[in-house]
Amino acid sequence: MHVNMQNKKIMKNIILFGPPGSGKGTQAVKLVEVFGLKHISTGDLFRFNMKNDTPLGKEAKSYIEKGELVPDSVTIGMLKSAVNENMDAKGFILDGFPRNIFQSESLDAFFKEKGIELSGLLSLDVEDDELVKRILNRGKTSGRKDDSSEEIIRNRIAVYSAQTSPVFDYYAKVNKSFKIDGLGTVEEIFERLSKKIKEL
């Protein structure tokens, strides 16, 4: 039990939260450099597992090819193996996970089993119009089809609000959810995030 308590103190485990275009990816890279945390992005996990044809990757691919959402069990499986492989890290930045209450509950149970706990959820707060502007701008260079249609972008934001915002409320009940102003320069937003992480 003593070891578990030590782990709890040492590790900083952050959920980096926010709608598409809120700058999570950019900020995660900077936070990893400064705080020495392991960045786990569900998007990267999917790409890695599918590229390497892992059993979970094959399963994910079968859903994606049909245009269906990948089931929670597959996403959670990928996340667990990524955490298990990096238990020597100073902590984790989870990006794109959890996306719903079931995933949040699964994460809590998994962390408890590992003897670690969530430090906090940091949500980048950006208005819809600003998000649309940013993603359209990104679409000029990203080559992603879903970055160049305002209609698709607004739909992605609406889906995020409906499905994912309950996760913020879920962690708010245990005083672990924090809104961070997502407007300003990359540096300004980074400063706000860093200040909060140091307080956690």
Q: Choosing from 12, 38, 99, 134, which is the catalytic residue?
A: 99
Q: Which domains does the chain have, with CATH numbers?
A: 2-127+165-199 (3.40.50.300)
Q: Choosing from 12, 24, 38, 134, which is the catalytic residue?
A: 24
Look at residue 42 and tell me whether its pLDDT is greater than 80.
Answer: yes
Look at residue 182 and tell me whether its pLDDT is greater than 70.
Answer: yes
Task: Quote the pLDDT of residue 43.
Answer: 85
Look at residue 6 and tell me whether its pLDDT is greater than 70.
Answer: no
Confidence label for 162 from pLDDT (cuts 50, 70 and 90): confident
Q: Choosing from 12, 38, 134, 156, which is the catalytic residue?
A: 156
Task: Quote the pLDDT of residue 1.
Answer: 42
Tokens 């990524």 appear where?
82
Q: Is 99 a catalytic residue?
A: yes
Compute the average pLDDT of residues 162-181. Answer: 94
Look at residue 19 and tell me whether its pLDDT is greater than 60.
Answer: yes
Q: Is 192 a catalytic residue?
A: no
Window from 48-52, 64-68, 134-138 with minimum mean pLDDT:
64-68
Task: Provide the mean pLDDT of the chain.
Answer: 90
Q: Choosing from 8, 80, 133, 138, which is the catalytic residue?
A: 138
Task: Quote the pLDDT of residue 5.
Answer: 46
Written in H, E and C, the secondary structure of the chain is: CHHHHHHHHHCEEEEEECCCCCCHHHHHHHHHHHHCCEEEEHHHHHHHHHHCCCHHHHHHHHHHHCCCCCCHHHHHHHHHHHHHHCCCCCEEEEECCCCCHHHHHHHHHHHHHHCCCCCEEEEEECCHHHHHHHHHHHHHHHCCHHHCCHHHHHHHHHHHHHHHHHHHHHHHCCCCEEEEECCCCHHHHHHHHHHHHHHC
Q: Is 138 a catalytic residue?
A: yes
Tell me the per-residue pLDDT of 104-135, one tens digit each, with 9 for 90 and over: 999 999 999 999 999 999 999 999 999 999 99
Q: Choosing from 47, 58, 90, 144, which is the catalytic residue?
A: 144
Task: Quote the pLDDT of residue 9.
Answer: 45
Look at residue 181 and tell me whether its pLDDT is greater than 70.
Answer: yes
Task: Quote the pLDDT of residue 7.
Answer: 45
Name the token pair of 11. 């590790």
Tell me the per-residue pLDDT of 73-106, one tens digit each, with 9 for 90 and over: 999 999 999 999 999 999 999 998 998 999 999 9
